[in-house]
Structure 1
Amino acid sequence: MVAEAAKRSFDDLVAEAESVSVDGWDFSWLDGRATEERPSWGYSRLMAERMARAHAALDVQTGGGEVLAGVPRLPAVTVATESWPPNITRAAARLRPRGVAVVADDDEPRLPFQDGAFDLVTSRHPVTTWWEEIARVLRPGGTYLSQEVGSGSVGELTEFFMGPQPHGTARDPERARAAAEDAGLEVLDLRWERLSTVFHDVGAVIYFLRKVIWIVPGFSAGRYRAELRELHDRIQDEGPFVAYATRFLIEARKPLPA
């Protein structure tokens, strides 16, 4: 696929990447065209282990349900929330046959569940983590497990299109620890890694930016055609475009009463 893409014209690559669907949270269209280094801790495995021991679980911002659908053994009560209508449809199709309740939610507090409803809450790459709400819906002794995107992820790609950007700390792991503790949770595990993301053709970049809309806000191939042409020529002359992402794993527990 990489070799084939290298031979294709700029216009062909742009047209193809603009026409493909970006619904859901499945990136398999990028196979052979882009690679993303994965964190060493294996979030899906950790999630599956905790799901197998839980009685009632909530997966927040489930996307199209891709990660939750891969869990071999789900709790008797499993609920997933999602806000984007196309993803809600995909998640329902994947998860409802397995007995998962898929709830449309706007990702803002309050979560539409009673206090202490779950002994496990999970979320992979949440847009925002509402720690007080996580603590509220957890039972005493229950845990929250999440893999989050760190600050400045794929910043090289953002700055290629938009120029130098301020480097914020809103997604700093230690800030997440402090927020969890402020909500009354005990942080059990916190790990951070810097990982490479490699794009082999400009079509892969277009697809990625159409799907991950916060990397270059307001992106469209028409709006950034000159930059895309420059990037295509650069990849042709120098090889793949490499950017770096940060990920951190956080696990926290709601203490039992004294």
Structure 2
Amino acid sequence: MNSNPADQGRGKSGEGQVQGPRQAPRTFDDLVAEAEAAPTEGWDFSWFEGRATEERPSWRYAEAMARRLARASASLDIQTGGGEVLASAATLPPLAVATEGWPANVAKATALLHPRGVVVVAAPEDAPLPFADGAFDLVTSRHPVKPRFDEITRVLRPGGTYFAQHVGPASVFEVVEYFLGPQAEDVRNARHPDQERAEAEAAGLEVVELRAERLRMEFRDIGAVVHFLRKVVWMVPGFTVEAYRPRLRELHDRIRAEGPFVAHSTRHLFELRKPE
């Protein structure tokens, strides 16, 4: 999502300026229809420009990943989405591979990454990685659904690194619980960094760095909420506008009356190492 305020850069009205007619607020139906028509493949969030914001983690994952890619000889990007984050790196290793499980994203990632020499492999998220033991000295991932630390350990060379940004516990649960109601504690605590640290260490990886942050999000119109739930499908499983129209209408009215709907994402940064 856009990390800048929607009105950044706008001039202020001054004396002597001609004021145009004020546009009527867009209707609930117009906003929802636009969001339903927007494409959802890939991890390009530019559609949210001016409609939603999300604070970014302080560690600047894409830049830090790019520095590591520039030093690697063989890399694997797991669950690459549409390949946008990997493609942002200026320099890629001589051997660069990416996996993705969603067919629409596989096609998008292939079109974006093949010209850069990256091999894109269609692989289900929960399946073993289709690569030989010790094939890579760097494995990366931005927001994997469920990291398979045993498989990451297997495909890393001794001394190799896993560098990733994970989604943390109860991320954007203000949105989730608005539609689904209060969630059980085990659901809220899923993806906790301490739990993932233990899983990584059990798989034989050493923790070099682990950092976590809670970040502010704002949804400024109901279209942004609809597009978010269509794109990030695991937030409210089975979400459709028709199934949740009354709640969407209520939230639309609330945003109009009170301002942006505020939520918080959680992220943690992992740097793990396979011992020599």
The TM-score with structure 1 as length reference comes to 0.96
Give yes or no for contact 2:6–2:49 (8 Å, CA) kept in 1: no
Give the total of aligned pairs.
256
Specify the alignment match of 2:194 in structure 1: 174
- Counterpart for residue 152 of structure 2: 134
- Alpha-carbon distance, 1:156 to partner: 0.5
Q: Give, in angstroms, the shift of residue 109 of structure 1.
A: 3.3
Counterpart secondary structure, 1:29: helix
Find the partner of 1:50 among 68, 77, 81.
68
Picking from 14, 30, 34, the partner of 1:16 is 34
Greater mean alpha carbon deviation, residues 230-239 or residues 164-173: 164-173
Give the root-mean-square deviation of aligned CA atoms.
Answer: 1.5
User: Equivalences for 1:237-256 in 2 at 5 Å?
Assistant: 237-256=257-276
Query: Partner of 1:108 in structure 2?
Result: 126
Against the structure 1 CA distance between its residues 193 and 178, is the aligned structure 2 distance closer, same or farther, given a 3 Å change threshold? same
Q: Taking every aligned residue pair, what percent have the same amino acid on both sides? A: 62
Match of 2:102 in 1: 84
Who is 1:150 aligned against? Answer: 168
Partner of 1:187: 207
Write the letter of the residue equivalent to 1:145.
F
Per-residue CA distance 1:228-254 (angstroms, 9 max, x = gap): 000000000000000011100011000
1:209 aligns with 229
Distance 2:172 2:125 in 1: 24
Q: For 2:42 and 2:66, how far apart are their aligned partners in 1?
A: 21
8 Å CA contact 1:69, 1:95 repeated in 2: yes
- Residues 1:223 and 2:246 are matched in the alignment: no
Q: Contact 1:54 / 1:120 at 8 angstroms: preserved in 2?
A: yes
1:7 aligns with 2:3: no
Structure 1 residues 30-80: Cα deviation after superposition (integer angstroms, max 9, x where no partner) = 000000111000100110010010000000000000000000000000000
CA contact 1:6–1:236 (8 Å) conserved in 2: no
Partner of 2:135: 117
Q: Quote the residue 2:252 is aligned against.
A: 232
Query: Where in structure 1 are there 5+ consecutive unaligned residues?
Result: none
Unaligned runs of 5+ in 2: 8-21
Moved more, 138-147 or 18-27: 18-27
Matched, 1:96 2:114: yes
* Structure 1, 2-11 or 221-230: larger mean CA deviation: 2-11
Instruction: Give the letter for the 1:49 counterpart.
Output: R
